[in-house]
Amino acid sequence: MAEAARSVSARANRGLPYEIVIWEILVRLPPKALLRCRAVCRAWHHATSAHDFLLAHHAHQPVLPVAFSRDVGYPSIVTFDHRAADAQLQRVTRLENRVCGLYYSCDGLLLLCSHDTTGTYFCICNPATRQSARLPIVSGYVILGMYRHHPTGEYRVLMYLENQEINGKDACYIFTLGSVQVQPPRNIGWQPEAKEVYCSSGQPVLLRGSLHCPSEQREIGSNNIVVFDTSTELFRQMRAPVAPVAPRYNALFEMDRVLGMYICSDGVTIIDIWMLLDYENEVWTFKCKIALPVTEINMMCGMLEGSRYAVVVPGNGELLVLVKFAGWLLQVDMDGKLVATFHRKEVFPTQLQLKQTLVPHAFFQH
């Protein structure tokens, strides 16, 4: 058996040095293909299971926009691969609970909210390895964000608890994933800016060791961003670009280590893109205005008018605009041209992105 394995390995590596095969070819494969390659021989299985290899493999994976699908009974996590010659939707994993919502994404991990006969609960999952773990967080907490705490390498969840009888006041909490002994969420006290994050519908963006979340613009000139420093565990506010009129909604994104914001007009016909090129002085620069091809979209979908929802996410060095309208998911480029269409009634774009990983985590082993 050992001789046969060495023979297979020799044929597989014929003409190529072992290091090239491992660190230039296998390290670039998608997770599913890499897992299949482990069956070729013991040498490949050993090399591709090492921690340093898995970190390098994760670094080579593309960052793809995430959509949430309900068109096949059980909900699914879907990625939009715009790099292919023909843009395509790819189902990453199907969720086991019909009542499930997608909250956050971090380093290939997804934070989900589900419901069963015991009530509402949160769970963490890795769609590449199909591992999941239920979080011991009691009902009543509102999750504001998930992040990797770089000084310790821990994955943490920032939570908010409204006025409850147990303590008589609002408070913020930190829950650490994968503690050796499961500890209750740690109370970091009450900070008024947390209420702004709680009321916001936008996804937080992790940049420079801080979570950034847009606050709701109640009047012209009042637009701000709430920032949570993951090291000091303190909130603060920073300036955001101000829309000339109250927007339908706005959201943040990060591209090339620069914070950006897109502002959708009422009716979602115009999207303004701003970039925070001077972070320290909080100076925003207007990047572009995208006019959605509303007439073309309406005609293609066979509708005169309807509710539109758009998200702007980075992808391969460029910004992607994904629009949900009627039973269609549409991609629009920065010039406002329709470049890809998918007739998927129950597929909804999100602000989340997924960079798949096979790196093991201790919290999946409890």
Q: Which residues pair with 131 in a beta bridge?
A: 126
Q: What is the mean pLDDT of each run of 10 residues along the chain (366 residues)?
A: 50 72 95 94 95 97 90 80 77 77 92 82 91 81 91 92 63 81 80 81 90 73 83 94 77 94 90 95 94 91 81 87 91 92 86 94 80
Burial 120-154 (b: 16+ CB within 10 A, else e): ebbbbbbbbbeebbebebeeebebbbbbbeeeeee
What domains can be seen in the chain, in order of their start residue?
2-55 (no CATH), 61-364 (2.120.10.30)
Cβ atoms of 259 and 314 within 8 Å: the answer is no
Mapped onto helix, strand or coil, the DSSP state of residue 336 is coil
Mapped onto helix, strand or coil, the DSSP state of residue 287 is strand
Question: What are the CA-CA distances from residue 168 to residues 161, 190, 274 (Å)?
Answer: 11, 12, 41
Q: Checking DSSP bridges between strand 328-332 and strand 270-278, what pairing results, if any?
A: unpaired
Cα 51 to the chain's mean position, in Å? Answer: 23
Torsional sign, CA 345, 200, 79, 139: negative
Identity of residue 54: L
Q: How far apart are CA 168 and CA 164, in angstroms?
A: 5
What pLDDT shows up at residue 2? 47
Helix count (H) and strand count (E) of the chain? 7, 24
Which has the closest alpha carbon to 145: 182, 193, 183?
Answer: 193
- Strand order in 258-264's β-sheet? 249-255, 258-264, 270-278, 283-291
What pLDDT shows up at residue 26? 96
Which has the closest alpha carbon to 287: 318, 322, 323, 325?
Answer: 318
Q: How far apart are CA 147 and CA 198, in angstroms?
A: 17
Residues 6+ apart with CB under 8 A from 242: 217, 220, 221, 223
